[in-house]
Amino acid sequence: MPKKKTEVKEDPQNDGSNEDGEPEAPDVQEDLFDPAEEIAGGDTDTDEADDDYEEEEEEIGIFAGLYQNLFGESWEMWVGAVVLSLLSIMLFLIASPWGSSGGIQAWGNSLYDMLGMEFPESLPDGVTELSLHAYGMLSILMVIGALASALLAKEFAIRVPPPGEIVKGFLGGVIMAIGCVLAMGCTIGNFFTGWAALSAGALIFVIGLIIGVFIAVKYLLWEMENHPTLSGGKSWTYLAAKSKGSSLQPLAGIIVVIIGIAIAFTYDPDDPLEKILMGFVLIGLLIGIVLQRSRFCVVRALREPFISGDAEPAAGLMAGILVGVLGFTVIKITGVGAELMSVSGNFWMPAIIGGVIFGFGMTIAGGCTVGSTWRTGEGQVKNWFAMIGLVLFMPLVAEYIKPGFLDAIPAGAKAHEFLPDRLGYTGAMVVMILILVIWYGFVKWNERTGRFSAF
């Protein structure tokens, strides 16, 4: 029989945000924010939390053991990445694969539409009602799923960082809005999904991301050494579950899950469009749960080689991409899904320029679009402000900046470049997998040598 373990109190923090330590019994917790921990720590608190488990002799039932396995400790990131790839494949079979920034832009479009503002350049046909926008609903359910997961794990808390971090969250969101609109996608649609879709633009985009992350890390290190007070100060934690004893958070989590499922069943399964929306809502709920449990974070995967040298986040991301490459290729080569699905017309200039901008912004904000989405669900105030920046500025960038930006780029530098058109499916898969192998070899070598690591 499985043994009951004491409750894990992980204090889930943003990448690049404050680490408050384990939430204690009081409803309000006040801590000092250390910028050095912000730069070097990231989500390492979750790894330390796993070491806090102590086994007790009391035996527990099968369902209690299952609950403990799912919500008692964080999952390995590679587990989350693989499951997320499988869910993206399911979305592809339903209609189209996983994406994040398009849903957030739909929130912004709906907001401005309610305010009576129109965007004829970016939305010539007007705004799609949010409840009928597949990716808008997918993103909403990702937040709901992350909230449910955090409550079930007793990890939900409203975490308020110092004012400097809140400002960085908002500015990072604004910068991400510019980057993902110009690049025609974010770290999910343009990278995680785009790589699986055999898009050449995805390869260029990730180069831009790495450059942007590197510049942002250099800036954060400079800020820590020369202006530590910009991000330092007190932080507060509200509504955290008690570290010991019972909590109402798991019950609240069950209620949130029920609400998410209920939203799915507001759609008519006999209507072709609403049947697709029902699938996106249910899978969005699952994606939110998986994101929060595995603490899936592209920022962490790209940043850690330059900070601590840790290769695990990057290796986990690669595992998910590999599964996606195999699944998407089968879908495309058999004709089940469109070949150019998730292949943006961003090769090569939009991808590299937008990638650098986006990579810088997501590192400053402490999470990319999807990272900020699930952290919003678990109560990270810094990421709330990153989401506000994204929601407010993505429609504005799409309307007023993107058209002129694309007009200034030669037609040959903003192409839909589908690798199998050049190399065939076998050649394209070999190239994508070979790059993953080289990337894996680099991060593992760097982990051993610390050649490119700051600490």
* DSSP string covering 208-261: HHHHHHHHHHHHHHHHHHH-GGGT-EEEEEESPPPSSS--SHHHHHHHHHHHHH
235: left (phi over 0), alpha (psi -120 to 50) or beta: beta
- Residue pair 257/285 in contact (Cβ under 8 Å)? The answer is yes
Which pLDDT does position 24 carry in this prediction?
Answer: 39
- Residue pair 372/383 in contact (Cβ under 8 Å)? The answer is yes
- Residue pair 188/98 in contact (Cβ under 8 Å)? The answer is yes
Which pLDDT does position 231 carry in this prediction?
Answer: 86
Kindly state the helix (H) or strand (E) to which residue 299 belongs, with its residue range.
Answer: helix 298-307
- What count of other Cβ atoms lies within 10 Å of the Cβ of residue 150? 30
What is this structure's pTM?
Answer: 0.87
**CA 143 → CA 105, 149, 154, 332, 388, distances in Å?**
15, 10, 16, 30, 14
Which pLDDT does position 52 carry in this prediction?
Answer: 46
Locus of tokens 């889930």: 12
Rounded to whole angstroms, the Cα distance separating 323 from 87 reads 11
Rounded to whole angstroms, the Cα distance separating 179 from 157 reads 30
- What count of other Cβ atoms lies within 10 Å of the Cβ of residue 77? 24
Residue type, 6: T
Longest Cα pair distance anywhere in the chain, in angstroms?
69
The DSSP call for residue 4 is E
Which pLDDT does position 60 carry in this prediction?
Answer: 62
- Residue pair 244/8 in contact (Cβ under 8 Å)? The answer is no
Rounded to whole angstroms, the Cα distance separating 197 from 92 reads 10
In sequence order, what are the residues at sequence separation of 6 or more whose Cβ sits closer than 8 angstroms to the Cβ of residue 83?
290, 294
Which pLDDT does position 340 carry in this prediction?
Answer: 96
Please give the chain's pLDDT, 455 residues, in tens: 444 333 333 343 444 444 333 333 334 445 555 544 455 444 444 444 444 444 443 456 788 888 999 999 999 999 999 999 999 999 999 999 999 999 999 999 999 999 999 999 889 889 999 999 999 999 999 999 999 999 999 999 999 999 999 999 999 999 999 999 999 999 999 999 999 999 999 999 999 999 999 999 999 999 999 999 988 889 999 999 987 778 999 999 999 999 999 999 999 999 999 999 999 999 999 999 999 999 999 999 999 998 899 999 999 999 999 999 999 999 999 999 999 999 999 999 999 999 999 999 999 999 999 999 999 999 999 999 999 999 999 999 999 999 999 999 999 999 999 999 999 999 999 999 999 999 999 999 999 999 988 77
Angle between helices 298-307 and 312-333 (to 10 degrees): 140
In sequence order, what are the residues at sequence separation of 6 or more whose Cβ sits closer than 8 angstroms to the Cβ of residue 143?
288, 373, 374, 376, 377
291: tokens are 């994101």
Rounded to whole angstroms, the Cα distance separating 348 from 409 reads 10
Rounded to whole angstroms, the Cα distance separating 26 from 241 reads 9
From the centroid of its chain, how far is CA 266? 27
Which pLDDT does position 300 carry in this prediction?
Answer: 92
Residue 31 bridge partners (DSSP): 235
Which pLDDT does position 432 carry in this prediction?
Answer: 96
Which pLDDT does position 34 carry in this prediction?
Answer: 53
Rounded to whole angstroms, the Cα distance separating 64 from 66 reads 5
Which pLDDT does position 63 carry in this prediction?
Answer: 81
